[in-house]
Structure formats: structure tokens, C-alpha cells
A and B are shown apart, each in its own frame.
Chain A
Amino acid sequence: MMGKKTLTFMLMDAPFENARTTTALRLIDIAARRGYDINVFAYEGAVYMPLAAQAKHANAVHGHDAAQEDHPLPREWVEAVMQETARNGGKFDWVNCGLCVDERGAAEAIPGVRRGSPADFWKMAGASDNVLVIPTK
């Protein structure tokens, strides 16, 4: 394995809508398992990904209650990659774009998420070995 790296990802998609969210978290998870330092700058709808208010729900069509439905929540995936990074000795920094948060009323995020601006993305990119921007369609 190569030495420790720092990778930065910019995400823009809102959760629950597109496979890009899943692929982005798969990529981040791979980096987390390697113990890399990971930065994420969430822009536009992506600030909803770590929204603390996300809740599992029942599925009346299938006759499932919330526990049986076990609906996946992106905030849990975000929390999981944060924990995986820490387990493997990496650092994880998730910054939500503050203006995007205000526009969407998405201020209540899970622990470990901080508020910032595109200037933070610039700093992250400058301090990283590589950067991947995953834009919306």
C-alpha cells in the first residue's frame, strides 16, 4: 500500500436521489479503510447528507414497519465513514457550505460536521494529494 495520503472530495448531490451519492461514499469508504486523511466539502444539496433529522420510515405498501423496512440513511453512512477513518488512524473533516445550509434550513447536522465556505474547499485542495469533484448532472 502507498503511504498515507490526503484526499479531498467535493460533493454536490442531495441524498436519496442519485447513484452518485452512493458511489461517492463508496470511494470515501475505500480511502477511510486505508487510513487516509479525508476532507469532504459538501456544496448545494449535498449539505443534506449529514442532516441529523433524517429518519427511517415504515412502508405501508409492503406492510413493513420502520424497523422491518430498515431504510438506509445517508447520515448513518457519513457517520460510518467518519468512524472507519478514525479506526484506521486517519483524520476526517466534513465541511458543509454555510450559505447552502442556510438556504435549505439544513443546519442540524450530525457531530463531526462543521460549517464553512468555498474558501475551505480551496484550502483543503491546496493541502491534499488529490481532489475529486463530483458535480451534479
Chain B
Amino acid sequence: MADYILIESRDPFESAEVGSFLDLADGLAKEGSAVTLFLVQNAVMAARHGAHVNFPDNSHVRSLAALAANGVKVLADSFSLQERGISPNRLIAGITVAPLSAVIDHMAAGRKALWH
């Protein structure tokens, strides 16, 4: 079974497609794959403590906290957080700050890489 690095670059408050990508991460994890979801660029906006990606118009979107609880490793790009003035201490529980090199680590390890 393949393992995955999914890279989300979009803000879920801007793009409804993000929900489908998060659903994909959830589905792959439930089927037994190791899945890392890496948030970069505006995608880190959804990582803020108190942000609700499933509210009010994104009811189908799985929350990042739920994804993390279901076994998806959720990482947020440290540079993207810094650019946007988001403190790494104010993220949704279950989300870990990581450098972009984590993506290259996963690619080098042979994980299937998908960008959205």
C-alpha cells in the first residue's frame, strides 16, 4: 500500500476544493496508508487556533483537528506561518510546525506526492 505526502496550498475559506483534498487525505488514511498533509502558503490560515474549516459554508470539510485525530499527520510550513504573522503556539491541536524540507524528506522516502 502506498504512502502519501499531500500538499495543500489553498485557503479553505477561499477554495471549496480544499474540502475534497482533505477528504482524500482522510480516505487514504482510513484505508491504511500513512498520510502526511503539509499546509503551505495560504493553507496555513486554516491552522489558526479558533479557525473552523467546516463552518459555516464548508460543512463537508473535515476539520484539521479531526484529520489529525484520525491518523493524518498534519504539518504547517514554518515560513508560511511567519509570513502571515501566525504564532506557532496558536495552532489547532494536532498540527505540528515543520520546515518545507519535510516535503523533500517525504519525496525522497518515496511517498506519492500530490499538490493542491
Contact = CB atoms under 8 A, between A and B. Distances in A.
A19 B104 contact: no
A34 B109 CA distance: 14
Interface string A3-45: 0010100000000000110010011001100101000000000
A131 B115 CA distance: 11
Given A30-B101, A134-B115, A7 B9 contact: no
A85 to B, nearest CB: 13
B107 interface: yes
Contacts of A31: 104
A132 B115 CA distance: 7
A30 B40 contact: no
Contacts of A19: 9, 41-42
Contacts of A5: 107-108
Contact of B115 (A30, A36, A133): A133
Contact of A129 (B10, B42, B110): B110
Contacts of B40: 23
A132 B41 contact: no
24 contacts: A2-B109, A5-B108, A7-B104, A19-B9, A19-B41, A23-B40, A23-B41, A26-B79, A26-B100, A27-B100, A27-B103, A30-B100, A30-B104, A31-B104, A36-B108, A130-B107, A130-B108, A130-B113, A132-B7, A132-B103, A132-B107, A132-B115, A134-B115, A135-B115
Interface of B: 7, 9-10, 40-42, 79, 100-101, 103-105, 107-111, 113, 115
Interface of A: 2, 5, 7, 19-20, 23, 26-27, 30-31, 34, 36, 129-135, 137
